[in-house]
Homo-oligomer: A and B are copies of this chain.
């Protein structure tokens, strides 16, 4: 049995807690948060504490707090010989802790959404092979997709996810705005947006690129640029069109 103390009570922490409740080989034995009120959700389900002095002995300290608080929290755990890992996509290993690692579930956890944990990729890294093995075991209790990824790779993955997810969503927002301005129901676009995302499961995005840019349809490109008032959005259109045409 791998015993875990969980630090944090936000989206990631509570989703990990829920996912591990079903496990027979990994158990969250305590949840820490510096604010007592934040622990309400966990009370009665697991031991809770607001004090570092009361931390239980465990095999894994799993830090699932905001990026900005991770290093401070980890430094409080320096005296322990326990494996200390964070759940951030952008931070490196916690070099001040003897045994340290990363346990990074690559998914946006929003409180409303129900999530199929088994499909969430978990990227793991540890400063030594035996600790990596522990993280693999914990990961396997949650998901079928475990990827050993080093810090350099994780940085690239994070950058890639900003382009593929955060920025795609910004483009959805822009499309919604264009629709609203012209009294077009944005929902018309929804099936096409979903299909575009689904397609890349089995195809490299470059091989399924569609639209005026890849067709070299300059007439439509010029026509559409004329429809756009904002200089920034025009520039964005041109940059993305060039990107598509360069990749041909």
- A residues with a Cβ closer than 8 A to B are 67, 90, 106-108, 110, 113, 119-121, 123, 145, 147, 149, 152-153, 155-176, 178-179, 181-201, 204-206, 208-214, 217, 220, 223-224, 227-228, 232-233, 235-237, 239-240, 242-244, 247
- B189 A157 Cβ-Cβ under 8 A: yes
Chain B contacts for A175, CB-based, 8 A: 160-161, 163-164, 205
- A209 B166 Cβ-Cβ under 8 A: yes
Q: List 14 A-B contacts (CB under 8 A).
A: A113-B195, A147-B185, A153-B183, A157-B189, A163-B174, A163-B178, A165-B211, A166-B214, A169-B199, A170-B209, A172-B197, A193-B200, A197-B197, A236-B236
Considering only CB atoms, which chain B residue lies closest to A91 in the complex? Answer: B220
The 4 residue pairs across chains A and B that have the minimum distance between CB atoms: A166-B211, A197-B197, A164-B175, A156-B182
In the complex, the count of this chain's copies comes to: 2
Chain B contacts for A206, CB-based, 8 A: 173, 176
- A160 B147 Cβ-Cβ under 8 A: no
- B156 A227 Cβ-Cβ under 8 A: yes
Chain B contacts for A186, CB-based, 8 A: 160
How distant is the Cα of A25 from the Cα of B181 in the complex, in angstroms?
37
- B227 A235 Cβ-Cβ under 8 A: no
Most chain B beta carbons < 10 A, residue from A167, A193, A232, A235: A167
Considering only CB atoms, which chain B residue lies closest to A188 in the complex? Answer: B121
Contact status of A190 and B200, CB under 8 A, knowing A108-B210, A162-B211, A171-B168: yes
How distant is the Cα of A233 from the Cα of B220 in the complex, in angstroms?
24
Contact status of A189 and B205, CB under 8 A, knowing A194-B198, A236-B239: no
- B192 A204 Cβ-Cβ under 8 A: no
Chain B contacts for A147, CB-based, 8 A: 185, 188
- B227 A232 Cβ-Cβ under 8 A: no
Chain B contacts for A211, CB-based, 8 A: 162, 165-167
Give the distance to chain B from A201, nearest Cβ to Cβ, in Å. 6
Give the distance to chain B from A88, nearest Cβ to Cβ, in Å. 10
